[in-house]
């Protein structure tokens, strides 16, 4: 089910989709295209060689083109996100979003295609004609019953996987949860009595899948708006009639008496506490209507404390979220070049997801979601951002495809395949996603010190409406008017601190004067700073416990902002504060330090930066490999400014740290395995992912160049080593970047 519990202002949503390059996807060449020779190989005349090879052996199209990793996300916009028939143009943002999820979760390249037709036959013909282009077809947001006809026809006509996620994605995740709920309550699938409320695409797919998994047909009752679908009822189409029950019950209320399971894919409020009370002991309730479920979990639990409840929402336990399934199902199907996605593959995916939920929850997932460390009634479905999904589900799907005879390229070494899956994705992305979920589970108060700036206000709005915590704004009396101009209807709900009228000012002045009186500051100097400087005032709010973290930096240079903060907040005892930039790619992250604070760090400081950055890398899911960078590789060429780098390595030798490190070395040796091979004595087992720079000039220049010219996303700088969680953002930061820093600061990842 889609997660619609997060709320954003319309302005913020539109800005997200329109800022920079409009939309959410782009095409990037996977081969170099810089020289005439590159172009000649890519197109004419070089392209003639693979053309002939594919003509001679069509199977080689997977070797010489992107077909094997390319999925079409196709819709005609007749059933968009529960909003109804808004047409193909309006469906494009959704289909682009689905393409992004494919890439983000399973490294599957996907392209959205919106078809301007509601004619079933024209739709089928159009998709069928595209078979040479794609390795798989994901159908999306097509209304019933047309979606059934379209999918069935395409599965029969096409020799690649065709999957309607609205049907089967929901069914697979529901089945996984049902397996575990039955296990917890001592039930067998062959014996459970199920009532399905709703008879649309997802409901019928759920019904078909649980029957395929062993639920007896006579133990399933399907209901629609008119009540029970029973044999002999008039006006029932062929897809509903296929599941018509032999029963005397006619209403949902009657059908639920003694039922073990309720599967709701219908409408808010359709399941009442009284109905829940009539169900069997330890009832299993999947209330999956979005954004409001058939019954709120707290109402269901009040009626039956022994119930197990799942919803489609992320703010309750046991979220039925399709993103647990479709990216990984296609990953496995594409990797064995399956000719389709059959019941065996769906059941394998459901069992794999169910088994994953029964394993011990990783510490980072548990911390992010606030879940128990063991399988139980409030954790029957894995968290959507569990990084293990990428290994577990595609392997299960691939095995099932091979066993059922639809795989045309069997995988001979499953363990090697599992390892390749792990390498396809960047763990940073999962950690960042879990950091956001952790912020929602444990919201904090974050001080936005520059609360009069539009970009800061937009970040504060997103932070609040995203449920990540409470923004504490520092600004003057016109901030509410500025919030209204950004579309906020209740600006009074935002907490605002104005230094001109704040009752905290006397306490702040006392605090600051006590700190600075022996550094040449008079009391009136402290009064002026508190009243006039937002960074001083914001940092004092943090010191006095009015917030849990602080974000600033938009209006002043980094060095000036740091000087102001240091007047109020000290570094951690024995530590030197420094900054880290993160370069985040599809399958890699590189941490660069110190990029912001220390111009000529000593050997001891460089060693400290290495240890602390390695700790950040581990918190973000990476095993650190540290390189101390230089223009010299182990003394060649010789230079006058290498002692601090060499001595830093010696310092770490004495500390006996638990991570790989090496230096001094040039960036190409640190990052390129071929270059590293020239130094067989080097202690790095692979390319470095933590780069310790020799000084601020090289570090700052490198970070800024990479931000402006590099192809990776850049996060940071993250300020490390201060007593209080405070982050100084670049002056060019976007609202989204400010929110990310706020979440990382509040969650303790950046510390």
Within 83-148, strands assigned E span 109-114, 136-139
Q: Are 587 and 653 contained in the same domain? A: yes
Q: CA 455, CA 17: separation in Å to the nearest integer?
A: 16
Q: CA 268, CA 230: separation in Å to the nearest integer?
A: 24
DSSP secondary structure of 537-551: HHHHHHHTTS-SEEE
Binding-site residue numbers are 80-87, 140-141, 166, 290
Which helix or strand (DSSP H or E) is residue 457 part of?
helix 454-465
Q: Are 463 and 515 contained in the same domain? A: yes
Q: Are 485 and 396 contained in the same domain? A: no
Q: Are 554 and 584 contained in the same domain? A: no
Q: Are 397 and 520 contained in the same domain? A: no
pLDDT for residue 2: 43
Q: Is the model more confident about 575 or about 431?
A: 575
Is residue 177 within 8 Å of 139, Cβ to Cβ?
A: no
Q: Above 80 in pLDDT, residue 587?
A: no
626: confidence class by pLDDT, cuts 50, 70, 90: very high
Q: CA 521, CA 470: separation in Å to the nearest integer?
A: 34
Q: Are 362 and 486 contained in the same domain? A: no
Report yes or no on 747 lying in a domain: no
Q: How many CB atoms lie within 10 A of CB 38?
A: 14
Q: Are 538 and 632 contained in the same domain? A: no
Q: Are 231 and 290 contained in the same domain? A: yes
Is residue 222 within 8 Å of 229, Cβ to Cβ?
A: yes
38: confidence class by pLDDT, cuts 50, 70, 90: confident
Q: CA 58, CA 51: separation in Å to the nearest integer?
A: 10
Q: Is the dihedral of CA 636, 641, 643, 648 positive or negative?
A: negative
Q: Is 335 helix (H, G, I), strand (E, B) or coil?
A: helix
Q: Above 50 in pLDDT, residue 4?
A: no
Determine the average pLDDT of the residues in 15-38. 82
pLDDT for residue 370: 54
pLDDT for residue 372: 55
Which CATH number characterizes residue 512's domain?
A: 3.40.50.10950
Q: Are 603 and 712 contained in the same domain? A: yes
* Residues classed as catalytic: 98
DSSP letter at 358? Answer: H
Determine the average pLDDT of the residues in 722-746. 91
Q: Report pLDDT digits (tens) over 204-215.
A: 999 999 999 999
Report yes or no on 743 lying in a domain: no
Percent of the chain with pLDDT strictly greater than 70: 97
Binding-site residue numbers for a divalent metal cation are 140-141, 166, 290
Is residue 188 within 8 Å of 182, Cβ to Cβ?
A: yes
Is residue 67 within 8 Å of 134, Cβ to Cβ?
A: yes
Is residue 245 within 8 Å of 222, Cβ to Cβ?
A: yes
Give the residue numbers spanning the domain of 177.
Answer: 168-425
Q: CA 368, CA 394: separation in Å to the nearest integer?
A: 24
Q: Which of 135, 164, 193 is the last residue of a domain?
A: 164
Contacting residues for 173 by C-beta, under 8 A, at least 6 apart: 1, 320, 321, 322, 324, 325, 350, 353, 381
Q: Which of 115, 111, 224, 91 is nearest to 166 (CA)?
A: 91
* Average pLDDT in the chain: 92
Q: Which two tokens stand for residue 392?
A: 């577990």
Q: Are 158 and 184 contained in the same domain? A: no
Determine the average pLDDT of the residues in 248-276. 96
Q: CA 102, CA 136: separation in Å to the nearest integer?
A: 12
Q: Which of 472, 464, 330, 332 is nearest to 392 (CA)?
A: 332
Determine the average pLDDT of the residues in 147-152. 96
pLDDT for residue 227: 96
Determine the average pLDDT of the residues in 586-594. 87
Q: Which of 398, 425, 452 is the last residue of a domain?
A: 425
Q: Is the model more confident about 48 or about 371?
A: 48
Q: Which of 566, 594, 628 is the last residue of a domain?
A: 566
Contacting residues for 111 by C-beta, under 8 A, at least 6 apart: 25, 70, 71, 72, 73, 99
Q: Which two tokens stand for residue 627?
A: 């390189």
Q: CA 28, CA 509: separation in Å to the nearest integer?
A: 55
Is residue 229 within 8 Å of 252, Cβ to Cβ?
A: no
What global pTM score does this model have? 0.79
Which CATH number characterizes residue 155's domain?
A: 3.40.50.10380
Report yes or no on 732 lying in a domain: no
> CA dist 230 to 236, 256, 283, 495, Å?
9, 15, 23, 57
pLDDT for residue 534: 94
652: confidence class by pLDDT, cuts 50, 70, 90: very high
Determine the average pLDDT of the residues in 553-557. 94
pLDDT for residue 9: 66
pLDDT for residue 3: 45
Report yes or no on 146 lying in a domain: yes
Q: Are 376 and 273 contained in the same domain? A: yes
Determine the average pLDDT of the residues in 311-340. 94
12: confidence class by pLDDT, cuts 50, 70, 90: confident
Q: Above 90 in pLDDT, residue 751?
A: no
11: confidence class by pLDDT, cuts 50, 70, 90: confident
Report yes or no on 573 lying in a domain: no
DSSP letter at 146? Answer: H
8: confidence class by pLDDT, cuts 50, 70, 90: low
Report yes or no on 751 lying in a domain: no
Report yes or no on 329 lying in a domain: yes
pLDDT for residue 5: 45
Report yes or no on 734 lying in a domain: no
1: confidence class by pLDDT, cuts 50, 70, 90: very low
Binding-site residue numbers for NADP(+) are 80-87
Q: Above 90 in pLDDT, residue 467?
A: no
Q: Report pLDDT digits (tens) over 214-227.
A: 999 999 999 999 99
How many folded domains does the chain comprise? Answer: 4
Q: Are 535 and 582 contained in the same domain? A: no
């Amino acid at each position: 089910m889609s997660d619609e519990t997060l709320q954003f202002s319309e302005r913020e949503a539109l800005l997200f989709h329109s800022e920079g390059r409009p939309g959410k996807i782009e095409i990037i060449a996977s081969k170099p295209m810089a020289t005439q020779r590159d172009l000649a190989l890519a197109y004419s005349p070089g392209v003639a060689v693979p053309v002939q090879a594919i003509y001679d052996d069509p199977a080689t199209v997977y070797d010489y083109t992107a077909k094997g990793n390319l999925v079409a996300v196709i819709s005609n916009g007749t059933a968009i996100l529960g909003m109804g028939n808004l047409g193909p143009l309006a469906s494009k943002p959704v289909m682009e979003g689905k393409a992004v999820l494919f890439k983000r979760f399973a490294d599957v390249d996907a392209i959205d295609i919106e078809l301007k037709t509601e004619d079933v036959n024209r739709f089928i013909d159009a998709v069928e004609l595209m078979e040479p282009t794609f390795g798989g077809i994901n159908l999306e947001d097509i209304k019933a019953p047309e979606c059934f006809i379209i999918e069935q026809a395409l599965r029969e006509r096409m020799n690649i996987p065709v999957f309607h996620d609205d049907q089967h994605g929901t069914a697979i995740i529901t089945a996984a949860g049902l397996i575990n709920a039955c296990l917890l309550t001592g039930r067998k699938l062959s014996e459970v009595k199920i009532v399905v409320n709703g008879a649309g695409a997802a409901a019928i797919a759920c019904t078909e899948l649980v029957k395929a998994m062993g639920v007896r047909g006579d133990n399933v009752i399907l209901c629609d708006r008119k009540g029970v679908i029973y044999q002999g009822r008039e006006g029932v189409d062929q897809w509903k009639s296929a599941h018509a029950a032999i029963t005397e019950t006619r209403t949902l209320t009657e059908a639920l008496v003694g039922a073990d399971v309720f599967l709701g894919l219908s409408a808010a409020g359709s399941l009442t506490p009284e109905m829940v009370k009539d169900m069997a002991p330890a009832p299993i309730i999947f209330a999956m209507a979005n954004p409001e479920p058939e019954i709120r979990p707290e109402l269901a639990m009040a009626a039956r404390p022994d119930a197990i409840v799942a919803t489609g929402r992320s703010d309750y336990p046991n979220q039925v979220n399709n993103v647990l399934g479709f990216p990984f199902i296609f990953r496995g199907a594409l990797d064995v070049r399956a000719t389709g996605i059959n019941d065996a593959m769906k059941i394998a995916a459901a069992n794999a997801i169910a088994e994953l939920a029964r394993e011990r929850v990783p510490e980072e997932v548990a911390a992010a979601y606030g879940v128990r460390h063991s399988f139980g009634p409030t954790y029957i479905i894995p968290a959507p951002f569990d990084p293990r999904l990428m290994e577990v589900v595609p392997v299960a799907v691939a095995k099932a495809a091979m066993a059922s005879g639809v795989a045309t390229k069997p995988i001979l070494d499953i363990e090697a395949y599992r390892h390749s899956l792990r390498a396809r994705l960047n763990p940073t992305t999962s950690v960042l996603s879990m950091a956001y979920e952790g912020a929602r589970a444990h919201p904090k108060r974050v001080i936005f010190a520059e609360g009069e700036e539009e970009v800061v206000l937009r970040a504060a709005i997103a932070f609040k409406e995203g449920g990540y915590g409470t923004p504490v704004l520092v600004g003057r009396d016109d901030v509410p008017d500025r919030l209204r101009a950004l579309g906020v209807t209740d600006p009074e709900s935002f907490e605002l601190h104005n230094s001109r009228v704040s009752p905290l000012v006397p306490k702040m002045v006392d605090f600051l004067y006590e700190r600075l009186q022996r550094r040449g500051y008079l009391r009136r100097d402290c009064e002026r700073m508190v009243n006039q400087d937002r960074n001083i005032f914001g940092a004092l709010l943090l010191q006095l416990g009015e917030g849990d973290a602080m974000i600033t930096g938009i209006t002043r240079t980094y060095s000036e902002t740091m000087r102001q903060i240091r007047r109020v907040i000290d570094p951690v005892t024995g530590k030197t504060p420094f900054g880290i930039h993160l370069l985040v790619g599809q399958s890699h992250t590189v941490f660069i330090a110190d990029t912001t604070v220390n111009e000529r760090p000593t050997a001891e400081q460089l060693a400290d930066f290495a240890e602390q950055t390695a700790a950040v890398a581990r918190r973000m899911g990476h095993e650190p490999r540290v390189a101390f960078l230089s223009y010299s590789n182990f003394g060649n060429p010789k230079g006058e400014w290498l002692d601090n780098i060499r001595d830093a390595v010696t310092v770490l030798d004495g500390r006996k740290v638990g991570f790989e490190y090496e230096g001094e070395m040039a960036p190409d040796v640190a990052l390129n395995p071929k270059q590293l091979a020239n130094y067989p004595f080097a202690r790095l087992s692979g390319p470095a992912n933590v780069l310790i720079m020799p000084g601020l000039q090289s570090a700052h220049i490198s970070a800024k160049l990479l931000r402006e010219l590099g192809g990776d996303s850049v996060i940071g700088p993250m300020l490390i080593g201060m007593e209080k969680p405070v982050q100084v953002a670049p002056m060019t930061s976007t609202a989204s970047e400010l929110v990310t820093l706020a979440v990382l600061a509040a969650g303790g990842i950046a510390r």
